[in-house]
Structure formats: C-alpha cells, structure tokens
Amino acid sequence: MLATLTERRAAHLVLLAVLCATVFFWFLGETPFHNKGEPREALVVQDIVTHGNWLFPLKAGWQIPSKPPLFHWIGALASLAWGEVTEATIRFPSALLGALGVFLAYWAGAKLYDPLTGLLAGLMLATTFVYQNAATEARVDMTLAFFLALPLLLFFGMHQRILKNGLWWYLFFAIAGLGVLAKGPVSLILTGLIITAFVAIKNEWSLVLRLARHPGVLVGLAIFGGWYGIALANAGSEFATLQFVKENLNRFFVHGEDGTGHQKPLYYFFPYLFSLGLPWTLFLPPLLWSYFKEQWFKDDRALFFGLWVAVVLGFFSLSAGKRPPYILPLYLPLTVLIAVWCRERAGRTGTVAKSVLSVGWLAAGMGAMMLAVLGAAILWSGSEASSLLGAAGLQEPEAAVIWRLVQENRWPYWYLLGSAVLCFLAARNLLLSRMLPAVAQLGALGIVTSLVIQGFVAPVLADALSYREFVRRAIRTAPDAPLLLFPRGIDAAPILFYGGERVERIRGNLQTLKTRLSESDVYVILSERQWTKFRSEVPAVLLLQSRGRGANGDDPLVLVRGRGAEQASADLTRRR
C-alpha cells in the first residue's frame, strides 16, 4: 500500500489525517481525569471560560499557574466553540498540535527528501508511543514540542532556500516568541542552542548577526514580553518566584531537597530514549551506526536533525529535574532520520542489508518479549506481576489496577499475542529486506497499542482512580446546600474542576472544619483518611464514599453532612 502511494501527496495527507483522527481524537473525551497533571491544567482553562480571565488566568480562580497560558488559551477556545468545558476540549490542544506535528514531519521529509520519506516520517511520529500519549493528555509537553519544531523547521527551510519570501523570517520570530508562552523560556533557549550549534559547525556566523539585527526580533519580544509584563503587573514577585525561579532556574540547576522534584541522575533519559520511542527506536542502533560510519552529518539535513536530537537530549540530561516527557521534542527529528534510513534501504540487498537484518532480529526479540509477558500474565502471581509492571515504570496504583484488568479479562492476552505476531511478521520482512511491509506492520502495532490503551486500559484506570463520579453524586446529594471541600491530604484539583463553582474550599484547620459542620445544611468533602481519624470529634454523618481512590491510589473520599450544634452536642454526650 505504501509503495503505491509514493508520489501521491494528497493521498498521503488524507492517510495521515485519518491516522491522527484515529489515534489522537477518537477517545479524547472518553476517560475522566485520573492523574495529577491534567486537572491542574483543566482548572486554568475553566477559569478562562468561566470568568473571562484571558490575559492572566488563575488556577481555580485564585492560584497562579506554574506554566504560561498558551495551552490554556487553545483549550478555552475549544471549550467555547463546543459550548462547555469537558475533558475532550481540555485535551484538544495536545491532540491538535500533535496532529500538526505529524504534518510538520511529513513536510520535512517530503520537502527535504521525497514524498515517501515524508509519509514514513509522519506515520512513524504518529505511532510513536510517547508521542501518542502526549497527544492525548491535557499537559503542556506537546505544546512545547510543536512550538519548538515549527520555528526550527522555518529556520532550516529558509536556510536551504525552500522558503524564499522575506516574510517567513517575521513568522519565524513570531512563532519563536509565541513558543515562550508554551512552557517558559526553555523553548527559546533550545531553539537558540540548536541554531547556534548548526551555524557554528557550518561556520556561518554572519547569519547570527543577521538574525540578531532582524526587525522580527522585536515582534517576538513583543509577543512574550507583553504577556510576561502583564503577569508581573498582576502578581509581581509571587509570579516571578514561581515561573522564573522555581519552574525554570530551580528545576534546571538545583539538586536535592531544595529542588522542585523529579531529581534524576545524568543518564536518566538514555533508557527512556529507546523505550518511549518504540516501535521505531528498534532502528536506532543501525541509524546511529550509519550516521557516524557513513558520515551522514556531512549533509546539512542530517546534520540539522541530528543536532536537534542531541541538543534536546543533552539539555534535559543536564537538568536537575527530569520527567520522561521532557524529551518529547526530539522524536520529530529522530523519526525523520529513521524514515530517511528506511527509505534509502527499501528494496536494497547485499551488504547494505546487514543493518536491516539487525533491526529484524530486534523486532523478533520484541515479539519474544511480548510472548514472555503473555506467559507471565498466565503463570505469575499478583506480587510478581506487580513487580514487573513497577520495573516497567508504572506507579503502584496503576500497576495494581492493570494487573486486576489482566486477571479479569481475556482481551489483554489477545492483545499481547497479536502484538507478538505483528513483531514477528515485521521481523520476517526485515530479514528478507522488505522494508515497507515491515514499516506498515510496526505502524499497525503502534495503532493497535494506542487504541487498546485509550479504549480499554485508561477507562479501567479512571474507574479505579478518578473522583469524577463521586463529585457528581455529591452535587446531586446536595443540590441546593453549600458543598465544601476540606483539602488537607488530598489532591484537590479534580474535585474543584468537576465541582466547578458548587465547591468551596475550607481554608483552615480541623477546628475550622468543626465550626463549618456545626451548620446543619453544610456538606463537606474530605479524605476517608481524615474522616476516620477525626469522625469521633466532628459533628457530622457519613453520606457517600468514593469508588475512585485518587491519583496516588490511596485517597478515597467521603461526603459528610453537618448535623447542627444541638445534635452534635447530644451525640457527644451520648458517646461519653
């Protein structure tokens, strides 16, 4: 199929659009929020839509967000267009920018090489595991990746004289400035480092001077500088401390207890580089061999994409704070390089095919690993399986839920078996030097994996961890009375999001809680742990308990109702 579409650019675009719709948009709103990150971003979008705070939105109407608002602006526009704020509209920016990133990969491959290379690059990026995850989550990682990729490809397109109109430079600076509002100055720093490294190796320092003197610099500065000026005017030192010091300087430079979390060693990303990029990082070892052995870096295109990968990996490896999604921006250039490698070897035989054989054996090994996991799922005990899932990087509550899912259903066994078959078929084609059928089979593996995770695994995780249904039940239980939240010891973001303006935080200690519960018509949401600890001292009756246990898997909620001062006094007297 791929071979017949070699020169049909319109067909390529339609195929990639259908692929993106399938793996990014199909299940976008099916799963409620059940982790810590998504509802925090959702609260900012909700504030924009509810209160119209476009210039300086707040989290839950009072807290300064940890990230600039570009992601939230797009989510708010999607929510207004849809007519309400939902999980789908909040995740929409990631899906949209993820799809546009796939088309950027296609443009890079098609314009710089040939249309089939572009198709392969787009297919590979859309079916890369980490990219699929980022495109279906309400997090700012995909926003950063896109607004780093677009100015870099604009720069390189102008450098190669593919984009010749002088107005492209103004767009380059405008997009680079807008990218700062994705996740802070890191996008501008990475763009500058990659371009500087390329210019230095090419010894084209005059280009740096031309860029620095270009009037478009003022456009970029006005875009991000204008917003940061508004933010500083609104929140002053508190904003500067959070978004400049804590989220950028401390996260990059500060190790240990004074850092901002996610403290990891220098080598942390190297195993993730391979595992997050599956199935396409099976091609990474021979790609690296070709890059240096065959001196690909002498070609401007391979040099630029290679520097892009190396700078992103090196920059975040030097950072004190690390999370696997941080290296998401390197997968677009990496998949372009892999697509070029596959395109050059499609149909070749002889000595060149030895590198293809190595990928074939890696694919066979991946299939054997799938069968081993299938056997473990059938034979192992719960504790052994949980240890295996933990070693794979899953948190304890997620590992427990997934293991229960495997035990109670048969489709995970069929998924593992089918995945193993696809790996073995791809391995066979690679061992026979049939590159394009192997790419199609590995792409099918990526599509199936995405649909299984979004359609089956995520809903089960959400059912065990999400607070959405509990909050909705609480609202129905107290349709007219005040609904309060005692946030101590729990992640309040999903409760505040799903409760909206119906939920009010109790700001204070246990004594404050007791005082509010003395009002007979007050309903309070608090953690089951807190309720168990203080129920003998609190004048309230238990009404509801949550099925969802929170992102940590150990924070179920309860809804209690105050019984009034007189009833509370009688209860306490009776207990004595």
188: left (phi over 0), alpha (psi -120 to 50) or beta: alpha
What are residue 321's DSSP bridge partners? 263
% of the chain residues with pLDDT over 70: 88
The two tokens of residue 542 are 């238990």
Residue 450 contacts by C-beta under 8 Å, 6 or more apart in sequence? 22, 23, 127, 132
Check if the beta carbon of residue 575 is closer than 8 Å to that of residue 539: no
Check if the beta carbon of residue 36 is closer than 8 Å to that of residue 551: yes
What pLDDT does residue 572 have?
46
Q: Is the pLDDT of residue 258 over 80?
A: no
Max CA distance (Å), the chain: 91
Task: Pick 399 or 234 by higher pLDDT.
Answer: 234
Mean pLDDT to the nearest integer, 415-433: 92
What pLDDT does residue 49 have?
95
Mean pLDDT to the nearest integer, 154-177: 94
Mean pLDDT to the nearest integer, 384-399: 53
Q: Is the pLDDT of residue 445 over 60?
A: yes
Lowest mean pLDDT among 100-104, 148-152, 391-395, 527-531: 391-395
Mean pLDDT to the nearest integer, 57-71: 90
Q: Is the pLDDT of residue 348 over 80?
A: no
Question: Could you tell me where the DSSP H helices lie in 328-467?
Answer: 331-345, 353-379, 382-391, 396-408, 411-431, 435-452, 458-465
Identify the CA nearest to 99 among candidates 17, 29, 157: 17
Q: Is the pLDDT of residue 350 over 70?
A: no
User: What CA–CA distances, in Å, run from 384 to 393, 394, 407, 530?
Assistant: 15, 14, 13, 32
The H or E element containing residue 253 is: helix 251-253
User: Given pLDDT bands bounded at 50, 70 and 90, which one contains residue 328?
Assistant: very high
What pLDDT does residue 255 have?
63
Check if the beta carbon of residue 145 is closer than 8 Å to that of residue 329: yes
Check if the beta carbon of residue 115 is closer than 8 Å to that of residue 9: yes
For the stretch 177-198, pLDDT in tens is: 999 999 999 999 999 999 999 9
Q: Is the pLDDT of residue 352 over 70?
A: no
Q: Is the pLDDT of residue 168 over 90?
A: yes
Chain-centre distance of CA 107, in angstroms?
Answer: 23
Which residue do the tokens 């939105």 mark? 57
Mean pLDDT of the chain: 87
User: Given pLDDT bands bounded at 50, 70 and 90, which one contains residue 201?
Assistant: very high
The Cβ-side half-sphere exposure at 321, using a 13 Å CA radius, reads 17
Mean pLDDT to the nearest integer, 219-240: 90
* Omega before residue 279 within 30° of 0, cis: yes
Check if the beta carbon of residue 43 is closer than 8 Å to that of residue 497: yes
Check if the beta carbon of residue 99 is closer than 8 Å to that of residue 135: yes
What pLDDT does residue 380 have?
59
CA quadruple 50, 54, 59, 62: dihedral positive or negative? negative
| DSSP string of 23-85, one letter each residue | IIITTTTTS---SSHHHHHHHHHHHHHHH---SS--BTTTBPPSS-SHHHHHHHHHHHHHTS-
330: left (phi over 0), alpha (psi -120 to 50) or beta: alpha
What pLDDT does residue 565 have?
44
Lowest mean pLDDT among 140-149, 306-315, 484-493: 484-493
Check if the beta carbon of residue 281 is closer than 8 Å to that of residue 267: no
Q: How many residues does the chain have?
A: 576
Task: Pick 511 or 277 by higher pLDDT.
Answer: 277
Residue 228 contacts by C-beta under 8 Å, 6 or more apart in sequence? none
User: Given pLDDT bands bounded at 50, 70 and 90, which one contains residue 99?
Assistant: very high
CA torsion, ordered 220, 260, 388, 465, to nearest 10 deg: -80
Identify the CA nearest to 50 among candidates 506, 523, 499, 495: 499
The two tokens of residue 442 are 């590995």
Q: Is the pLDDT of residue 568 over 70?
A: no
Lowest mean pLDDT among 38-47, 84-93, 104-113, 242-251: 242-251
Question: Could you tell me where the DSSP H helices lie in 113-135?
Answer: 115-126, 129-135
User: What CA–CA distances, in Å, run from 445 to 129, 278, 456?
Assistant: 10, 10, 16
Identify the CA nearest to 331 among candidates 246, 269, 379: 269
The two tokens of residue 350 are 């002889």
pTM over 0.75, yes/no? yes
